[in-house]
Homo-oligomer: A and B are copies of this chain.
Amino acid sequence: MLVDFVPAAQPETEAVKERRDAEQEKLAGNQLKIKEARLPVMVIFEGWNAAGKGSVLGRVIRNIDPRFFQVATMEAPPTEDEKRKPFLYRYIVEIPEAGKFKFFDTCWMREVTDGVLRGTAEKADYKSRIRDINTAERQLTDNGYLVVKFFFHITQKEQKKRLDALEKNKDTKWRAKSGDFWENEHYDECLEVYDTYLEDTSRQVAPWYIIDASDRRWAEVQVLTYLNQAIDIALQNNSYNSLILQNRFRLEPMPLLKEIPLDQEISEEDYRKELKELQGELGDLHNRLYRKKVPVIIAYEGWDAAGKGGNIKRITGALDPRGYIVHPIASPEPHEKARFYLWRFWNRLPKTGHIAIFDRTWYGRVMVERLEGFCSENDWKRAYNEINEFEKMLTDWGAVLIKFWVQIDKDTQLARFNERQNTPEKQWKITDEDWRNREKWDLYEDAVNEMLQKTSTDFAPWHVLESVDKKYARIKALKIVNDSIKKAL
């Protein structure tokens, strides 16, 4: 792509100036249209050092109301904290919310190509990052995002001229970094790496636009024109449905809920004994995984009143409070609802060596959001694959990912609801919504069965906790957690 690209900078004529003004005005109008249509717009600026990304970005946003856009500057390498998250984390947390622009001053491209050029990335790393990036861009566009990608292109000679000029001037000298000169001296090598990346990540749903950046004012016209054009098209497609991709992952066979025997029990005595042993072991394991920097994610789903809370308590009871966090997941807040549905979970990922426990999870997409119509049919049908891809990224990163379905039968739920209702200090635990959900038990059971069948991958299988005897379920959970962590250590 770059190799074939021919700069075609137009001189700054009156016509070019008029076109730039017209496109600026159009963008000012488009900011209101995307707000109204709740379209999230992610604009990525990549390119050669000193190609003028920053100054063009500054001019592009000039006419947008500051309430409607943000800029994410990603040029600095990941911090120590960010290095303890999956590669995509620091970018995903920055995605725009519905109705707003987010401009990325470099994004995931830079980190990948730098890795190749510095020789710090293996070929397999490169391939897996390209796959993750294409997956992320597809997930975002499938979920209604507009992703517009610009690569700012200048020649080796032009770059040299600019860097020399920066360095000569003592006020701008700090901006001409040694890495920039390195890039200029190894221009051909960099060109090949950039070109390969652009080819590998060019897709109809999120194509690259190469910007001839030899003239900054002309670069601005191009960026504005492509951006407005893409927004116009995205606004026309507000109810687009994507094809549902086939599952690509190895699935573990799962029983149907109704086939699961629920008569398992444990005696009080055995319970106390095993609890003590297992919690002791988990405490030790927690220290070891902290030192070995293994991240652990424990996901709880299950019927209302199935005993998730008490189960989680028996896990956390064994843990050093500085090394874990419990995330109770309720309905999304407005700022969460305004973003890609997996965003609030990306946002809550643990650092390496830490444990994050989710009390309800991203599986809400294929349960409550599906059944209550909070998302479209196309949305939840795509979600099985999107969730499997998300969990694959987590386990590829090295996470131990444990998923529990806490199972009870309908009668047990009724008994527990009634007990909550009739016990003053437990009444806070039961709401009208719980009763309403209970009426949809059969619909939920179908949805849960489909979820268990379609998302129990070999890298992130579901574990059913039979929780009519809550103590039995707690011991089983602790055993699975301990075994899973031991395998990873």
Residues of A that sit less than 8 Å from B by CB: 1, 4-6, 8, 138, 141-142, 203-205, 207-210, 226, 229-230, 233, 236-237, 239-246, 248-251, 378
Q: For A249, list chain B residues within 8 Å (CB).
A: 4
Whether B248 and A4, one on each chain, are in contact in the complex, defined by CB atoms closer than 8 angstroms, is yes
A227 to chain B, nearest CB (A): 11
Q: Indicate how many identical chains form the complex.
A: 2
Bound state CA distance, A248 and B3, in angstroms? Answer: 10
Taken together as a complex, chains A and B put the C-alpha atoms of A208 and B8 apart, in Å, by 38
> Cβ of B205 and Cβ of A205 under 8 Å apart?
yes
Q: Is the CB of A1 within 8 A of B248?
A: yes
Complex Cα distance A81/B209, Å?
40
Residue of B8, B141, B205, B233 near A241 (CB, 8 A) is: B233
Task: List residues of chain B with CB within 8 A of the CB of A250.
Answer: 4, 6
A171 CB to closest chain B CB, in angstroms? 36
Q: Is the CB of A233 within 8 A of B229?
A: no
Which chain B residue lies CB-closest to A211? B246
Which of B1, B141, B203, B378 meets A203, CB within 8 Å? B203
A253's nearest neighbour on chain B, judged by CB, is B8
Closest Cβ of chain B to A244, distance in Å, is 6
Contact: B241 with A236, CB < 8 Å?
yes
Q: What residue in chain B is nearest A6 (Cβ atoms)?
A: B250
Q: Which residues of B contact A209 (CB under 8 A)?
A: 246
Q: Nearest-CB distance from A2 to chain B (Å)?
A: 10
Determine if A244 and B248 form an interchain contact, defined as CB atoms under 8 angstroms apart.
no
Contact flag A204-B242 (CB < 8 Å), given A233-B378, A378-B233: yes
Q: With A6-B251, A203-B203, A250-B6 in contact, do A240 and B240 touch (Cβ < 8 Å)?
A: yes
CA distance A210 to B6 in the complex (A): 40
Closest Cβ–Cβ distance, residue A197 to chain B (whole Å): 16
Docked CA distance A212–B4 (Å):
42
Instruction: Give A425 Cβ to nearest chain B Cβ, in Å.
Output: 47
B244 touches A233 (CB 8 A): yes
Determine if A233 and B243 form an interchain contact, defined as CB atoms under 8 angstroms apart: yes
Nearest 9 pairs of A and B residues by beta carbon: A233-B241, A236-B241, A209-B246, A6-B250, A207-B245, A204-B205, A138-B204, A237-B241, A233-B243
Q: What CA separation (Å) do A236 and B379 show in the bound complex?
A: 14
Give the residues in chain B near A204, CB-CB below 8 Å: 138, 141-142, 203-205, 242-243, 245
In the bound complex, residues from chain B placing their C-beta under 8 Å from that of A141 are: 204
Residues of B within 8 A of A245 (CB): 204, 207
Q: CA A242 – CA B245 in complex, angstroms?
A: 19
Taking CB as reference atom, which chain B residue is nearest A207?
B245
Q: List the B side residues contacting A138 at CB < 8 Å.
A: 204
Between-chain CB contacts (< 8 Å), 7 pairs: A6-B250, A142-B204, A204-B204, A209-B246, A230-B244, A233-B378, A236-B241
Q: Which residues of B contact A229 (CB under 8 A)?
A: 244
Bound CA–CA A142/B237 (angstroms): 13
**Distance (Å) between the CB of A201 and the closest chain B CB?**
12
Give the distance in Å from the alpha carbon of A236 to the alpha carbon of B241 in the complex. 7
Q: Which of A138, A204, A233, A243 has the most CB of B within 10 A?
A: A243
A139 to chain B, nearest CB (A): 10
Whether A242 lies near B246 (C-beta < 8 A) is no
Q: How far is the CA of A246 from the CA of B6 in the complex (A)?
A: 12
Q: How far is the CA of A237 from the CA of B243 in the complex (A)?
A: 10
In angstroms, how far is the closest chain B Cβ from the Cβ of A134?
9
Tell me whether A226 and B208 are in contact in the complex, defined as CB-CB below 8 angstroms, given that A8-B251, A251-B6, A378-B233 are known contacts.
no
Query: Shortest CB–CB separation between residue A189 and chain B, in angstroms?
Result: 21
Given that A6-B251, A204-B204, A251-B6 are contacting pairs, would A246 and B233 also be in contact in the complex, using a CB cutoff of 8 Å? Answer: no
Query: Which residues of B lie under 8 Å from residue A243 when comparing CB positions?
Result: 204-205, 207, 230, 233
